[in-house]
Structure 1
Amino acid sequence: MLNIIWLVLIVSSIIVAAVTGRMEAMNQAAFAGAKAGVTVCFGLLSVLAFWMGIMRIAEKTGLMELVARALSPVISLLFPDIPKGHPAMGYIMSNMSANLLGLGNAATPMGLKAMEELQKLNPDKQQASPAMCTLLAINTASITLIPTTMIAIRMQYGSANPVEIVGTTLLSSFAATFVAIVIDRWYRYRTNRRYR
């Protein structure tokens, strides 16, 4: 469906540009947008590579294991359906760590691996399990301590103070995560009452 929406937008913009005689402006805008996209991607690659390297060092030195141990009571509370020591827990921890550092792109592969592991535990393969829904809610909202991607984009576009968004990002992401957890718990409670 999303592909159809994009196709309609592209075709309609070409038609409007042709009818209004602004094809040259449309072409310039398309090339300028493509150039900006490539420039931003190269800037983000360096930030992503840096933080992935930091995460790899943290993993090799055992720091990630310490963080996982410290957060395991919270994770166990959020995901009571997952058995202790299951591989899904490690992927969930990696996903959350990447999100904490504002590395949404780095968090995605770990989130997908966590979903694969959670699907193995899922008794109904046609419907998402409660643990899968919780992971999706937390991953989508995710508390972000350091919004590295946004800082990199702001630096690339010449912001005078690219890190000034840290406080507001932390506050808004904390609020979003809190609301996501509350709604997730409410739906779990409602579902459990319905099937009793």
Structure 2
Amino acid sequence: MVNLIWVCMTVIGIVFAMFNGTMGEVNEAVFSGAKEAVTLCIGLISILVFWLGMMKIAEEAGLLKILAKLFRPIVNRLFPEVPNDHPAMGYILSNMMANLFGLGNAATPLGIKAMEEMKKLNGGLNEASRSMITFLAINTSSITLIPTTVIAIRMNYNSATPTDIVGTTLIATTCSTLGAIIIDRYFHYRRSRKG
């Protein structure tokens, strides 16, 4: 459905530009935007590779296991339907650690695997379970200590202090995660009272 919306927006924009006589500006915007996107991606790759390397070092040093052990009691309370020794729990914790360090792109495959494992726990149904909904809410809002992608973008655009946003990001993502958990719990209890 989203692909259809994007295609419709593109076609409507091109047709409008043709009738409005601004096709030259559209072409210029397309090519300059493509050039800027490639430049931005190359800049992001360097930062992402650095932080993925740091994550690998933290994993080898056992830091991620310590953090996962620290967060396990909280995660067990958030996902009571997921058994402690189930693979889904490992993927959930790994996804949360990757998001904690601002590695959204690296966290995505872990999140997909967590959802696949929770779907198995849900009997393979196409309807989302309580744990799947909670995970989606937390993953979308996730607390971030180091917003690596945003820092990389700020560095690409020659920010004098690209890391100034760390404190603000931590406060904003903490509020968004707490809000997501509260709303998730509210609707869960409201639904369970009706059912």
With structure 1 as the length reference, what TM-score do the two structures score?
A: 0.94
C-alpha distance in 2 between matches for 1:48 and 1:144: 15
C-alpha distance in 2 between matches for 1:27 and 1:88: 47
Of all paired residues, the percent bearing the same amino acid is: 55
C-alpha distance in 2 between matches for 1:8 and 1:82: 41
1:153-164 matches, cutoff 5 A: 153-164=153-164
Letter in 1 for 2:57: I
Contact 2:68 2:97 in 1 (8 A): no
Contact 2:89 2:114 in 1 (8 A): yes
Q: Please, which moves more after superposition, 115-124 or 147-156?
A: 115-124
Is 1:35 paired with 2:2? Answer: no
Is 1:111 paired with 2:111? Answer: yes
Secondary structure at 1:128 match in 2: coil
**1:166 equivalent in structure 2:** 166
**2:66 equivalent in structure 1:** 66
Residue deviations 1:130-186, cap 9 Å, x none? 010110000000011111100100110111221121122111111110010001111
Residue deviations 1:53-77, cap 9 Å, x none? 1112222222211111111111111
Secondary structure at 1:90 match in 2: helix
Cα root mean square deviation, aligned: 1.3
Letter in 2 for 1:51: W
CA displacement at 1:124 relative to structure 2: 6.2
CA displacement at 1:20 relative to structure 2: 2.4
Letter in 1 for 2:142: S
With structure 2 as the length reference, what TM-score do the two structures score?
A: 0.95
Deviating 4+ runs (over 6 angstroms): none
Show structure 2 runs of 5+ residues with no match.
none
Letter in 1 for 2:151: I
C-alpha distance in 1 between matches for 2:40 and 2:108: 19
Letter in 1 for 2:136: L
Is 1:100 paired with 2:96? Answer: no
Residue deviations 1:74-95, cap 9 Å, x none? 1111111111111111111111
